[in-house]
Amino acid sequence: MSAAPLTSGYTPDDDLKLHSENAINLICKPFQSHESGLPEWPKNGADEYTRSHAPASERAIVLLLQNGRSGGPPTAIGCLDFSGMTSTVIDNEFRHWADPDASKRGDEDAGVQGGHGNGGKCYMVQMFDDRAYLHTVKDNRGCVYGTVAGSIHLGYFPNREKGKDFVVDDVEAELTCALAEIGIASVDLPPKALEVLRKRQGFTLVVGRGAKGYSSRIPATQIIESLVDHPQMRTTLEMCSVFALVNGKVANDGRPLELSEIPPMTGAETPRVIPIPESLVDPMSREVVSTTADDHEPQGSLTLLTSEVRMWRGAKKSRHNVVYKATSGYIGYKPINEFNVSSAYRERIYGECVLMALESAKLNDRSALASSPLVRALESWISDEIETYAREFEARDRRKHDQEEKDALAQMNAALDSWKNRLLDRVLGDEGAGDGEGHEPGDPPTRLPTGVPARIELSLPHYRAGVGVAMRPAVNAFDASGDRIRPPAVTWTSSDPSVALVDEDIRVLNTLEAGKTVLQCETFDKSVVSNTVTLNVVEIVSIDLEPRSVEVPAGSRRRLIANCTLVGNETATDVALVWIENDPAIASVSAAGMVFGFAEGVTEVTASDNNATANNSVVVEVGPGDSGDGSGSSYPLVLISEIQLDPDTLDEVVLSSDDPPVHQRVEDVERNIWWINSASPLARIYLAEDFGPDSREWRIYHLERYVEVIAKIAMTQGPDAEDSLGVDEWAARWGERAATIQEAAAAGLASFIYEGELPS
């Protein structure tokens, strides 16, 4: 029998096959943390106020953070607004997953923030070990609807007959009962909230009991700080009075929460507004892309703002983004550090992009945008605009040095660099010089004394890891005087053994499946309990290794970078993986991706976990080791920014006053180059006319920076280099190294310090 001929038509199946539970699990992947899930609840409350056209004076939202109590309710996280929800809305709207029109109920032009009806429910079904539900009253009818831990199936509590449309004669009394379920008294609510309740006669209380990762205490300060600066919260905070009630007390001195202030850089107080060109070029295809949907949408704009302090870490980190807005309002964001910008001033720039044509790029979790020619073209253009803006600040900060001054500084730096190489031979144990106390640099470290532990400090080499990865936790013990002692034998606990467990026989932590777990250890007699640490085992989609090839002199090391793409399209470089080398006789690689060169030859290194293997391997070529004469490539090179040129590109290197006094850019790490930052505040003072490069002040400062470089190299390349050093241990060893190097400098460079005589 011959096959039927192909035609231009087809007959679709009558039904659409879908594994609904698995589909919901995939939809909910981006909301597997309190930081990503909690903003969804106040956003939903703000949207309900908008739909009902509530006046600004009646838009109150209360975040509830409640510690667990012995013999009482477990930890609870909640969100209370005063709109209420009918059973019709619950049955026809709320329980509907992945609804593209979830935000369009009622007045489609109401200006709601929008979404796909997933985020709030995803947070409910994933992040609570007891139950999560909403207790709502509207038009004197109440409903209690939600789910229990481990289930994505929503339903009424205790059943449909009793939990749906029960009569509520006294709304305030009903709220009092609802709050009592989680150990909160209604009289503790902010006065503004009680006032709005009495006016609107309705409420929706969304509650999660038994917050994952928080067994008895919720870190309220961190959660509130993270929430306030989350990109998703910006519109909610502008539209509503959002309060936080922490263990029965109103936080922030009773005032509504607000976006933290970001003082701008001096001279850049006014935001820079840049019209988006109506057409851009996709950097991948080189095709021209319309930013106005071929004139169907208005022209967009990019607004760049500045911060007087660096934003990439600390409290401002969560605001260090370009936030995207389109037809439905906020649709996503991208961290500034993910744009292709090389200037150090990128750390002090953030912004907002408004472009209606981006609406179709909105994803489920409203973080990164969906990749498309328009998104690629736009983000390439934004990178250029941020770079241009940052270069203006560099030009402002650039200090002009005459050639004679540059030559003098370069000569001084070359002499110190040669001295540094000779000292490094001793510091790294390559020569036999002792330390004056009978210990040789190559000797094993002195064993810590035994003692009675009063405190145990637990830390991990990585706080994110792939599945199927092993790592060794660091356990440091201290006696009652605060001195380090030999760690005692301990037992281990993991809040979620299905995620990760410690093999107590060999003290190795093994990751088993994606999720979060809280680790802790204690002495056998339970008299001393360590701090807790949280390990996030992530689900990796793909791994790309950088660089593609690397040259490592025998006896030295280079760090490789694993760019991991996680579920939810997040990228990360701080994930612990399984690293493997083809020929360990030539080179070995550590769990942190540090390659050690042993013998001349070529080998390959790759990385993986149980879910993903790197898309590429790194070719490692180990060359001959250095002779110790200062000319070998394994010696780090120390240069001065704005004085000496990049040895490979011959470009002037301009750093910011925000960069550290001793700095390595990303491109410098592989090349083993360090820069003394001439733009740092003290360097500027000592290079100014009142002092200058011939002054004793500059020589001391210059030498101190070399001490810093040598100490850093000793801690990362010498015998002390360990991936699992705790904070206290690292600080102690750093101090010891720095003191030894300063002693050597004082002994060998006195003439340089006092007279300016360059070391031979």
In 481-577, beta strands by DSSP E? 484-485, 490-494, 500-503, 508-511, 515-523, 533-537, 540-546, 549-553, 557-559, 561-566, 571-572, 575-576
Do residue 511 and residue 616 come from a single domain? no
Look at residues 514, 537, 560 and tell me which one is the last residue of a structural domain. 537
Distance of CA 614 to the CA centre of its chain: 22
Q: What is the mean pLDDT of residues 570-585?
A: 87
Ranked by mean pLDDT, the top range of 32-46, 178-192, 472-486, 716-730 is: 178-192
pTM, to two decimals: 0.52
Q: Establish if 259 belongs to a structural domain.
A: no
| In the predicted structure, residue 428 carries a pLDDT above the cut 80 | no
* pLDDT greater at residue 119 or residue 121: 121
Average pLDDT, the chain: 83
Residue 400 is predicted with a pLDDT of 56
User: What is the average per-residue pLDDT within 189-205?
Assistant: 96
Q: What is the 3-state secondary structure (H, E, C) of 648-690?
A: CCCCECCCCCCCCCEECCHHHHCCCEEEECCCCHHHHHHHCCC
* 617 and 653 part of one domain: no
Tell me what percent of the residues of the chain surpass a pLDDT of 90: 39
d(CA 55, CA 569): 38
User: Based on the domain organization, do 279 and 360 belong to the same domain?
Assistant: yes
Which residue did the predictor score with more confidence, 367 or 379?
379
Length of the chain: 760
pLDDT in tens, 248-297: 999 999 999 988 788 999 889 999 999 999 999 999 999 999 999 999 99
Position 439 in a domain = no
Higher pLDDT, 661 or 315: 661
Average pLDDT estimate for 346-353: 92
Q: Are residues 390 and 424 in the same domain?
A: no
Round to whole Å and give the CA distance between 79 and 56.
Answer: 18
681 domain residue, yes or no: yes
Average pLDDT over residues 152-164: 94
DSSP letter for 40, please.
H
Q: Are residues 80 and 138 in the same domain?
A: yes
User: Is the domain of 92 the same as that of 135?
Assistant: yes
pLDDT of residue 399: 57
Answer with the one of 254, 286, 307 that is the final residue of a domain. 254
In which domain, by residue range, is 326 found?
272-397
Cα separation, 82 vs 85, in Å, equals 9
Q: Which sign, positive or negative, has the C-alpha torsion 77, 82, 88, 94? A: negative
694 contacts: CB under 8 Å, gap ≥ 6: 408, 756
Q: Are 520 and 579 in a shared domain?
A: no
**pLDDT(436) > 60:** no
Least confident of 72-81, 559-568, 747-756: 747-756
Tokens describing residue 151: 């289930």
- Reduced to 3 states, what is the DSSP secondary structure of residue 93? helix
Q: Which residue has the higher pLDDT, 70 or 474?
A: 474
Residue 173: pLDDT over 50: yes
Position with higher pLDDT, 550 vs 715: 550
Is residue 379 very low, low, confident or very high in pLDDT (cuts 50, 70, 90)? very high
Sheet holding 601-608, edge to edge: 549-553, 618-623, 601-608, 578-581
The CATH number of the domain holding residue 39 is 3.30.565.10
CATH of residue 553: 2.60.40.10
Give residue-wise pLDDT tens across range 591-604: 778 887 777 889 99
Q: CA-CA distances (angstroms) from residue 173 to 87, 170, 177, 289?
A: 20, 5, 6, 58
Domain boundary among 481, 503, 537: 537
Question: What contacts 443, CB < 8 A, 6 or more positions away?
Answer: none
Q: Is residue 14 part of a domain?
A: no
Instruction: Indicate if 614 and 720 belong to the same structural domain.
Output: no
| Claim to verify: residue 506 and residue 522 sit in the same structural domain | yes
In a domain, 1, yes or no: no
Instruction: Determine, yes or no, domain membership for 4.
Output: no
Residues 199 and 282 in one domain: no
Assess whether pLDDT exceeds 60 at residue 432: no
Q: pLDDT-based confidence at 317, cuts 50/70/90?
A: confident
Q: How many domains is the chain built from?
A: 5
Rounded Cα distance between 180 and 719, Å, is 58
Residues 655 and 616 in one domain: no
CATH of the domain at 476: 2.60.40.1080
- Res 633: pLDDT: 41
**629 domain-assigned:** no
Range 713-720 average pLDDT: 56
| Model pLDDT, residue 507 | 79
If asked whether residues 141 and 66 sit together in one domain, one would say yes
Alpha-carbon dihedral sign for residues 31, 368, 39, 95: negative
263 domain-assigned:
no
